[in-house]
Amino acid sequence: MSGVTPYLRKVCRQANRNSRWAVFLWLFSGWELKALVRVSTQDESFYLEKMDNKTNKEIKRWFDRNPITETQTPQCTSLEEALEAVERALPGKRDMALLAMAVYISRLVDLKTPLWLMFVGVPSSAKTEIARMLTYALCIYFLDSLTENAFVSGSKTKTGEEPKDLLPLLDDKCFVIKDFTTTLSQREESVRKILGDLTSIYDDSFAKHSPVRGTIEYHAFFSLLCCVTPQALNRHQRYMNQIGPRFLFYRVPASIEEEVNKGLEVLWSSEDSRSRVREAQEKVSSYCNYIEESVSEKRLEKESKEVISYLNNLAKFIARARGMVLTRNAEFVNKEGETISFYEPVEIQIEDPYRALLQLRVLARSLATVKGKSSVAFSEMDLVKQVALSSMPADRSLLLSVIARENKDWTAKEIADNLGISHKTALRQLDELVSLKVVVKSEGGLGLAHIYRIKPVFESLLYSSTEFMSHPPTETQTPQETVVSSNKTSDQLTDGELLKIFLGATIKESIHD
């Protein structure tokens, strides 16, 4: 069978239109049909099943009616073609499709650091639809949810047979959980058990002992893409950070009016929307298969000093922003005899930035690979930054999104009014960020309220907006900067031009506490 395997893989790619995970190939000895080979891209196993003559004739007639040809599923070798198909089916979701493809290919880009990403969005925000764009990719494993002992079971079946553990089936795959919300909605103990197992599995090995099976150990390296709603995640994200964050997150932006109207037009069009989705799935999956075949032949060049410095700074920022702060309510009496309540930090846990850097680096490299580039450039940094700013507790992310609107001094009341939360809640969140050294706090003067602003070393990270990247300023808009043609996209700019636009200041090499 080993000599047939390359051909079987080719047939898998060509016959994707007939089935998501299984295709059939008939083998001949002379002109006599001898056997049916079942090729499963779920577990990469090949089963040789003997069939009777009647079944063989039926199979042959089926293949005569449905011949597998090169023209049935044409290979998509253009990223733009794949993204245009996504745009026709799901307007405004190009960035999500790029991230999904990056997760899929990441397991080949970096063989040491797995890329685990969660799409966080409200219901009907196309999370699952984008995840399904990878339906016809070769090395994919789909599940709707997880049970408590899904990865490795501690017991045998009722008949005494060894159970079918999930973990060994995931090795060298892209694992997609379409509805992680269901998993996070289980009992608290079950959820913590699953999250704890994932934390151990992330480091490439997982060992478990039970009296029935003894010690079972697996080594599995895989990328992971999950879809979850904000409410389900918010109940557990702080615990995930507490035991050591392994996931990056992308919070799906709210659709603008134009995107909503386009989506409604798709649903009302005479053309079946399912056919558009199917076309997008085929093109995205085909492009992923194309990239997968060529990625081993192409090695990315080393990142520039500017990119390395930016990623270092971003890693330091995310490491602090997703840190843990244990506080307690305290109070004192001021000179006027008023009792003032405040939150006092009891324990602060800030991870070192090394894991965050590895996560961001593999994301940046995977995006560059998907785009067919020879090295990581600053055009990838905008999407990397969006992921980084999403990879912290939601309340902090929302608070920082308000501060990022304008580079100025903010009061807790201004932030509370913008977010629609109480003044006391805003104070507690701001004090957490002060303790984590993401935000600096200073006296307002003349008895005024305290003022807050982003720590200077992180200002260039937070105040460079997506819109600024998508529409570079002209000479008349920023005369102090080098002239940049207004009709260039971010992919067409040099790193030097992008650096001046994206950062607006010299990148600092280290954080001075």
- 370: domain CATH number is 1.10.10.10
Residue 510 in domain: no
Considering the domain architecture, whether residues 58 and 85 belong to the same structural domain is answered as no
Of 450, 432, 371, the closest CA to residue 396 belongs to: 432
Q: Is 50 exposed, middle or buried (0-12, 13-18, 19+ CB in 10 A)?
A: exposed
Task: Report if residue 513 sits inside a domain.
Answer: no
Residue 266, in any domain of the structure:
yes
Question: What residues make up the domain containing 454?
Answer: 305-503
Is-contact 183 146, C-beta < 8 A? Answer: yes
Same domain membership, residue 174 and residue 264: yes
Residues 15 and 35 in one domain: yes
Q: Are residues 357 and 465 in the same domain?
A: yes
Of 36, 65, 94, which residue constitutes the final position of a domain?
Answer: 65
What is the C-alpha separation between 115 and 138, in angstroms, rounded? 18
Cα 461 to Cα 137: distance, rounded to the nearest angstrom: 35
| pLDDT, position 93 | 92
Residue 267, class by beta-carbon neighbours within 10 Å (0-12 exposed, 13-18 middle, 19+ buried)?
Answer: exposed
Statement to judge: residues 381 and 475 lie in one domain:
yes
The dihedral through the CA atoms of 30, 35, 41, 43 has a sign that is negative
Asked if residue 163 belongs to a domain, the reply is: yes
Both 291 and 254 in one domain: the answer is: yes
End-to-end CA distance of the chain: 61
Q: In angstroms, what CA-CA distances link 291 with 108, 285, 286, 366, 404?
A: 10, 10, 9, 11, 36
Identity of the amino acid at 30: G
Domain boundary among 28, 43, 65: 65
The verdict on 124 and 38 lying in the same domain is: no
Token output for 49: 């099943």
- The Cα 478–Cα 484 span in angstroms is 10
Pair 154, 55 in one domain:
no
In sequence order, the 6+-apart residues with CB closer than 8 A to the CB of 171 are 218, 219, 220, 221, 222
Residue 315 in domain: yes
How far is residue 82's CA from residue 76's CA, in Å, rounded to a whole number? 7
> What's the total number of domains in the chain?
3
- Please report how many Cα atoms fall inside a 13 Å half-sphere around the Cα of residue 433, on the Cβ side: 29
Please give the structure tokens belonging to residue 39.
């090729």
In sequence order, what DSSP letters do the residues of 398-424 get, joined into one string?
Answer: HHHHHHTTSSS-B-HHHHHHHHT--HH
Helix axes 305-321, 495-503, angle to 10 degrees: 30
Report yes or no on 10 lying in a domain.
yes
Same domain, 93 and 54: no
Predicted local confidence at residue 3, as pLDDT: 37
Residues 35 and 98 in one domain: no
For the domain that residue 170 is a member of, what is the CATH number?
3.40.50.300
* 403 assigned to some structural domain: yes
Q: How far apart are CA 209 and CA 151, in angstroms?
A: 13
pTM summary value: 0.74
The reported pLDDT for the residue numbered 283 is 93
- Residue 58 covered by a domain: yes
* 462 to 76, 371, 403, 407: CA distances (angstroms): 37, 25, 9, 9
Say if residue 43 is in the same domain as residue 118: no
pLDDT along the chain (513 residues), means of 10: 40 40 39 39 38 52 52 68 92 94 94 93 91 93 88 79 87 92 88 90 87 88 94 82 82 82 78 84 93 81 92 93 81 76 77 94 95 90 90 86 85 90 88 90 74 88 49 32 40 49 38 39
Same domain, 120 and 39: no
Which of 39, 65, 91 is where one domain is finished?
65
- Tokens 């990119």 locate to 307
